[in-house]
Chains A and B, each alone.
Chain A
């Protein structure tokens, strides 16, 4: 049942408003059975996208995702169905139970879909619901269950085929703190059974549960470091669109062209930054990727500052002030 996950140079790119967006850009990740891996990050940071790829529901733009012996990105047809059914169990954010079915029937569904006989499926579904402390609520429909109970049914359903990999998409998003505790305990127990549990969340309460935390939101370097002088030849790129941004730049001499690339590969000029002006402050401030690329149009010298140093130098104390002074 043990299954390792190995992700290499994973890239997901899609179009948004005519511009290519890369929520995941060159991600590497290794995870082992028994681990609880937490994918932390703000909305849009690619947490759910990564889970979808691991669940073989979304195909990445490039890169490799190996789960056990399977290269997930190449699965098709019956192999894909088998993988989704047998290798991976998903606990969805909104529970996603079928409202017309009882708790027991909801857990039975993946078993019956997998060809398990009715009696066997019912017995296993009962056992799974008992394991999540829902023995008394088996015949209730989702509408008659609390959020925490629904989430536990969803966990039981995810375990129907005893998958070695369990994915949780914001499993505590709709729960109060009492319900969260119960769900966290169950998730930890699942991992203790030798499964690999990967949970996407922006809920800091889950951090103590994790064996490992993978932060998908780019973080700016908050430490103070000496400014770095960067010399660029004409046409040289300082950073590319989609890069993680942790420094702010001030043009000392020359000229920087800020260009946003469209889906069709053509560029759209956002700004030309002249000596004495700065650029690139929004990405480190808000934990975003670079929304445009920067390239020197002539021999140019820029100085790179950490966000803290930049604020001190330019007397921009709050993000609001910085935003108000932003070039674009």
Chain B
């Protein structure tokens, strides 16, 4: 009896197509915001991993190296370097500035000691080696040889990194710490964190964070954003369910006489319900396929990074089927409660 449902979809193909496009768009939006959330999640790990360090030390009471601006003398790093288990230690300063990248753009400014732990690996060009140099993330759009004004001084771009962003795609630039101290700390030899290679478990007056601690702390400010995205995603599922439910319910209403005739001629409620459920599933799964195409096509034109996890592509059709079945319940109920007596009369 599946052929009756398939024929009906063919018969109402315009509505089916509109339903697929509308639901597909909603599913695509759900995929895209999942991609935004994925980007928020992944960029933090990438940013922290880019430092290639083992431990992060911040003053007691500071929340973390990226989320607190508590300063202390940079020489603390020398003392940390003496602790057993530490291979090397260096001060860093985590700052922010807005720069001119064609338009005013916020950037994360990380001040590091050239050649010491915390200096990023470059994708192209050279690592920092002296004052006046800057390494920028490729997301700034700058390349080796360009110049960039940071804290009112012009730096020469000597290298670029890839994928080092945080705070929802905010690009990161690296400058020598001596320049940061001169420009941001009025020449005082201060730092906001010490990074080490090798392990250290405690240091007086400081709290020691692992990379995982740091990642978790850096994700915290985006907690509301990601929970909002999760909420929006649920809303989008509901909208999709609404569209599918409306289409299926409309089919059920329009096919009331058909259902009455089918029941009057011996078709069971179960068969009718399965037929309508199949329509909902076909609509949902086709929409999910359209959503994948749409999301992949739209991702490159988004101003923010979109990193859709592979699992989302697996989950989407499953969720789509669940959404389709749930949303078709009203239509199913109508179909099974149709009075076969409606088949009689003119």
Task: Enumerate chain A interface residues (CB-CB to B < 8 A).
Answer: 48, 51-52, 55, 57-58, 81-82, 84-86, 89-90, 92-94, 96, 98-101, 105, 109-110, 112-114, 157, 160-161, 169-170, 173-174
Q: With A and B bound together, what is the CA distance between A52 and B344 in angstroms? A: 8
Q: Are A58 and B341 in contact, CB atoms less than 8 angstroms apart?
A: yes
A143 to chain B: closest CB distance in Å?
10
A321 to chain B: closest CB distance in Å?
33
Q: With A and B bound together, what is the CA distance between A113 and B261 in angstroms? A: 12
**What are 19 A-B interface contacts by the 8 Å CB criterion?**
A57-B339, A57-B340, A84-B265, A84-B266, A85-B265, A92-B343, A93-B345, A96-B257, A96-B258, A96-B343, A98-B7, A98-B258, A100-B12, A101-B7, A110-B265, A113-B265, A157-B265, A160-B265, A174-B346
Nearest B-chain residue to A98, judged by Cβ: B258
Nearest B-chain residue to A108, judged by Cβ: B3
Chain A residues in 8 Å Cβ range of B4: 98, 100-101, 105, 109
Top 4 nearest A-B pairs by Cβ distance?
Answer: A85-B266, A100-B11, A113-B267, A84-B266
Q: With A and B bound together, what is the CA distance between A48 and B264 in angstroms? A: 14
Q: Are A84 and B264 in contact, CB atoms less than 8 angstroms apart?
A: yes
When the two chains form the complex, which single residue of A52, A55, A57, A112 contacts B1, counting CB atoms closer than 8 Å? A112
Q: With A and B bound together, what is the CA distance between A81 and B265 in angstroms? A: 8
Task: Enumerate chain B interface residues (CB-CB to A < 8 A).
Answer: 1, 3-4, 7-8, 10-12, 257-258, 260-268, 271, 339-341, 343-346
Nearest A-chain residue to B268, judged by Cβ: A81
Q: With A and B bound together, what is the CA distance between A245 and B19 in angstroms? A: 58
Q: With A and B bound together, what is the CA distance between A139 and B341 in angstroms? A: 29
Nearest A-chain residue to B339, judged by Cβ: A57
Starting from the known contacts A55-B264, A98-B258, 5 additional A-B residue pairs (CB-CB under 8 Å) come to A55-B340, A99-B11, A113-B267, A169-B345, A170-B346
Chain B residues in 8 Å Cβ range of A112: 1, 3
Q: Which of B4, B8, B260, B271 has the most CB of A within 10 A?
A: B4
Interface of B is mostly: helix
Q: Are A86 and B343 in contact, CB atoms less than 8 angstroms apart?
A: no
Q: Are B341 and A93 in contact, CB atoms less than 8 angstroms apart?
A: no
Given A52-B341, A57-B341, A96-B257, A173:B264 Cβ within 8 A? no
Q: Are B343 and A110 in contact, CB atoms less than 8 angstroms apart?
A: no
Q: Which of B261, B271, B343 has the most CB of A within 10 A?
A: B261
Q: With A and B bound together, what is the CA distance between A93 and B343 in angstroms? A: 9
A32 to chain B: closest CB distance in Å?
24
Chain A residues in 8 Å Cβ range of B266: 81-82, 84-86, 110, 113-114, 161
Q: With A and B bound together, what is the CA distance between A173 and B268 in angstroms? A: 29
Q: Are A57 and B264 in contact, CB atoms less than 8 angstroms apart?
A: yes
Q: With A and B bound together, what is the CA distance between A37 and B265 in angstroms? A: 21
Q: With A and B bound together, what is the CA distance between A89 and B266 in angstroms? A: 10
Chain A residues in 8 Å Cβ range of B1: 109, 112-113
A216 to chain B: closest CB distance in Å?
15
Chain A residues in 8 Å Cβ range of B265: 84-85, 89-90, 109-110, 113, 157, 160
B142 to chain A: closest CB distance in Å?
60
Nearest B-chain residue to A83, judged by Cβ: B266
Chain A residues in 8 Å Cβ range of B343: 57, 90, 92, 96
Q: With A and B bound together, what is the CA distance between A84 and B260 in angstroms? A: 12
Nearest A-chain residue to B257, judged by Cβ: A96
When the two chains form the complex, which single residue of B8, B11, B344 contacts A169, counting CB atoms closer than 8 Å? B344
Q: Are B345 and A90 in contact, CB atoms less than 8 angstroms apart?
A: no
Chain B residues in 8 Å Cβ range of A89: 265
